[in-house]
Protein backbone atom coordinates (compact mmCIF):
# COMPACT_ATOMS: atom_id res chain seq x y z
CA UNK A 1 0.00 0.00 0.00
CA UNK A 2 1.37 3.43 -0.88
CA UNK A 3 1.82 6.16 1.65
CA UNK A 4 -0.92 8.80 1.48
CA UNK A 5 0.67 12.23 1.76
CA UNK A 6 0.47 15.63 0.21
CA UNK A 7 2.65 18.62 -0.35
CA UNK A 8 1.83 22.30 -0.49
CA UNK A 9 3.84 25.49 -0.88
CA UNK A 10 4.13 27.53 2.32
CA UNK A 11 3.65 31.19 1.35
CA UNK A 12 5.26 32.47 4.57
CA UNK A 13 8.40 30.28 4.66
CA UNK A 14 8.68 30.00 0.85
CA UNK A 15 9.23 26.24 0.94
CA UNK A 16 7.35 22.97 0.39
CA UNK A 17 5.60 21.29 3.31
CA UNK A 18 4.88 17.54 3.24
CA UNK A 19 2.27 15.70 5.31
CA UNK A 20 -1.49 15.29 5.67
CA UNK A 21 -3.80 17.74 3.89
CA UNK A 22 -6.80 19.26 5.65
CA UNK A 23 -9.34 21.51 4.00
CA UNK A 24 -10.89 23.42 6.91
CA UNK A 25 -13.88 25.77 6.85
CA UNK A 26 -13.36 28.02 9.86
CA UNK A 27 -16.97 29.25 10.23
CA UNK A 28 -20.20 27.28 10.03
CA UNK A 29 -22.24 28.73 7.16
CA UNK A 30 -25.97 29.35 7.24
CA UNK A 31 -28.05 30.18 4.19
CA UNK A 32 -26.90 32.14 1.16
CA UNK A 33 -28.99 34.45 -1.00
CA UNK A 34 -27.20 33.44 -4.21
CA UNK A 35 -24.42 31.21 -5.57
CA UNK A 36 -21.97 34.10 -5.75
CA UNK A 37 -22.43 34.84 -2.05
CA UNK A 38 -21.74 31.17 -1.24
CA UNK A 39 -18.68 31.12 -3.50
CA UNK A 40 -17.25 34.23 -1.84
CA UNK A 41 -17.97 32.87 1.64
CA UNK A 42 -16.14 29.60 0.99
CA UNK A 43 -13.21 31.38 -0.65
CA UNK A 44 -12.82 33.64 2.40
CA UNK A 45 -13.38 30.98 5.08
CA UNK A 46 -11.66 27.90 3.63
CA UNK A 47 -8.19 27.23 4.99
CA UNK A 48 -5.78 24.76 3.39
CA UNK A 49 -3.51 23.11 5.95
CA UNK A 50 -0.59 20.70 5.81
CA UNK A 51 -0.04 18.76 9.06
CA UNK A 52 3.36 17.19 9.75
CA UNK A 53 5.55 15.84 12.55
CA UNK A 54 7.14 18.57 14.62
CA UNK A 55 10.77 18.79 15.64
CA UNK A 56 12.05 17.08 18.77
CA UNK A 57 15.34 15.92 20.19
CA UNK A 58 16.25 12.39 21.28
CA UNK A 59 13.75 10.85 23.69
CA UNK A 60 11.72 14.06 23.80
CA UNK A 61 7.98 14.11 23.04
CA UNK A 62 7.23 14.83 19.40
CA UNK A 63 4.27 17.03 18.59
CA UNK A 64 2.40 17.85 15.42
CA UNK A 65 2.90 21.10 13.50
CA UNK A 66 0.29 22.67 11.26
CA UNK A 67 1.20 24.97 8.40
CA UNK A 68 -1.66 27.42 7.82
CA UNK A 69 -0.26 29.46 4.93
CA UNK A 70 -0.44 26.90 2.12
CA UNK A 71 -1.24 28.12 -1.40
CA UNK A 72 -4.24 25.98 -2.44
CA UNK A 73 -3.10 26.03 -6.08
CA UNK A 74 0.12 24.23 -5.10
CA UNK A 75 -1.40 21.22 -3.30
CA UNK A 76 -0.58 17.85 -4.84
CA UNK A 77 -0.88 14.22 -3.74
CA UNK A 78 1.99 11.72 -3.69
CA UNK A 79 1.55 9.16 -6.48
CA UNK A 80 3.44 6.39 -4.70
CA UNK A 81 6.00 6.45 -7.53
CA UNK A 82 9.69 7.35 -7.47
CA UNK A 83 11.70 8.78 -10.38
CA UNK A 84 15.07 7.47 -11.55
CA UNK A 85 16.86 9.79 -9.07
CA UNK A 86 14.86 8.35 -6.12
CA UNK A 87 12.69 11.50 -5.94
CA UNK A 88 9.02 11.09 -5.00
CA UNK A 89 6.55 11.99 -7.78
CA UNK A 90 3.63 14.22 -6.77
CA UNK A 91 0.58 15.40 -8.65
CA UNK A 92 1.58 18.62 -10.40
CA UNK A 93 5.16 17.49 -10.99
CA UNK A 94 6.62 17.93 -14.44
CA UNK A 95 8.41 14.84 -15.67
CA UNK A 96 10.04 13.60 -18.80
CA UNK A 97 10.53 10.01 -19.73
CA UNK A 98 13.05 7.99 -21.68
CA UNK A 99 12.45 4.49 -22.94
CA UNK A 100 14.70 1.56 -22.14
CA UNK A 101 12.80 -0.66 -24.60
CA UNK A 102 11.22 -0.14 -28.03
CA UNK A 103 7.89 1.67 -27.69
CA UNK A 104 5.03 2.41 -30.05
CA UNK A 105 5.20 5.45 -32.35
CA UNK A 106 2.73 7.51 -30.29
CA UNK A 107 4.96 7.30 -27.22
CA UNK A 108 8.17 7.62 -29.24
CA UNK A 109 7.17 11.11 -30.43
CA UNK A 110 6.58 12.18 -26.81
CA UNK A 111 9.87 10.77 -25.52
CA UNK A 112 11.99 13.53 -23.98
CA UNK A 113 9.01 15.91 -23.81
CA UNK A 114 7.88 17.29 -20.47
CA UNK A 115 4.49 16.23 -19.14
CA UNK A 116 2.42 17.02 -16.07
CA UNK A 117 1.34 14.45 -13.49
CA UNK A 118 -2.43 14.74 -13.04
CA UNK A 119 -5.00 12.91 -10.95
CA UNK A 120 -8.15 12.01 -12.85
CA UNK A 121 -10.89 9.57 -11.92
CA UNK A 122 -8.90 7.55 -9.37
CA UNK A 123 -5.72 7.28 -11.46
CA UNK A 124 -2.52 9.23 -11.83
CA UNK A 125 -1.81 10.01 -15.46
CA UNK A 126 0.82 11.86 -17.43
CA UNK A 127 -0.55 14.68 -19.57
CA UNK A 128 1.40 15.69 -22.68
CA UNK A 129 -0.16 18.59 -24.57
CA UNK A 130 -3.64 17.12 -25.16
CA UNK A 131 -2.77 13.42 -24.71
CA UNK A 132 -2.95 11.31 -21.57
CA UNK A 133 -0.85 8.21 -20.97
CA UNK A 134 -0.60 5.80 -18.04
CA UNK A 135 1.94 7.16 -15.59
CA UNK A 136 3.94 4.04 -14.88
CA UNK A 137 4.99 1.55 -17.51
CA UNK A 138 7.75 -1.05 -17.35
CA UNK A 139 10.85 -0.20 -19.34
CA UNK A 140 10.43 3.57 -19.05
CA UNK A 141 12.48 5.85 -16.81
CA UNK A 142 10.92 9.01 -15.39
CA UNK A 143 12.69 12.11 -14.13
CA UNK A 144 11.10 14.97 -12.19
CA UNK A 145 12.28 18.22 -13.82
CA UNK A 146 10.07 20.68 -11.91
CA UNK A 147 6.44 21.32 -11.06
CA UNK A 148 3.58 23.38 -12.47
CA UNK A 149 3.68 25.75 -9.49
CA UNK A 150 7.34 26.82 -9.75
CA UNK A 151 8.16 25.99 -13.39
CA UNK A 152 5.10 26.56 -15.63
CA UNK A 153 7.39 27.73 -18.43
CA UNK A 154 8.66 24.15 -18.88
CA UNK A 155 5.28 23.18 -20.37
CA UNK A 156 5.73 25.52 -23.33
CA UNK A 157 3.18 27.72 -25.08
CA UNK A 158 1.14 25.03 -26.85
CA UNK A 159 0.30 23.05 -23.71
CA UNK A 160 -3.45 22.84 -22.96
How far apart, in Å, are the Cα atoms of 110 and each of 40, 115, 138? Answer: 41, 9, 16
b (16+ CB within 10 A) / e for 35-65: eeeeeeeeeeeeebbbeeeeeeeeeeeeeee
Whether the Cβ atoms of residue 8 and residue 16 lie closer than 8 Å to each other: yes
Architecture of 76-155 per CATH?
A: Roll (2.30)
Q: Given a cut of 80, is residue 1 above it in pLDDT? A: no
Please check the confidence at residue 158 and state whether its pLDDT lies above 70.
no
At residue 59, the pLDDT reads: 80
- pLDDT mean over 112-141: 80
List, by residue range, all CATH 2.30.30.290 domains of the chain: 76-155
Residue 141, pLDDT > 90, answer: no
Residue 30: count of CB within 10 angstroms of its CB: 6
CA 156, CA 160: separation in Å to the nearest integer?
10
**pLDDT tier for residue 106 given thresholds of 50, 70 and 90:** low
Q: Write out pLDDT tens, residues 45-89.
A: 999 999 988 777 788 777 778 888 899 999 999 998 899 999 999
Per-residue pLDDT band for 101 (boundaries 50, 70, 90) equals low
| pTM given for the model | 0.79
Confidence tier at 131 by pLDDT (50, 70, 90):
confident
For residues 72-108, one letter each, b for 16 or more C-beta atoms within 10 angstroms of the residue's C-beta and e for the rest, the string is: eebbbbbbebebeeeebbbbbbbbbbeeeeebeeebe
Contact between 7 and 75 under an 8 Å Cβ cutoff? The reply is yes
Amino acid sequence: MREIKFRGYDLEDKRWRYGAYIKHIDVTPCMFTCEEEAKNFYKEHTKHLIVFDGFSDWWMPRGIDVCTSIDPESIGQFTGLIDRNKKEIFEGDLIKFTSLIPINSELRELEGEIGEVVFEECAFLLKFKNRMIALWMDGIEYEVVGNIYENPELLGENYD
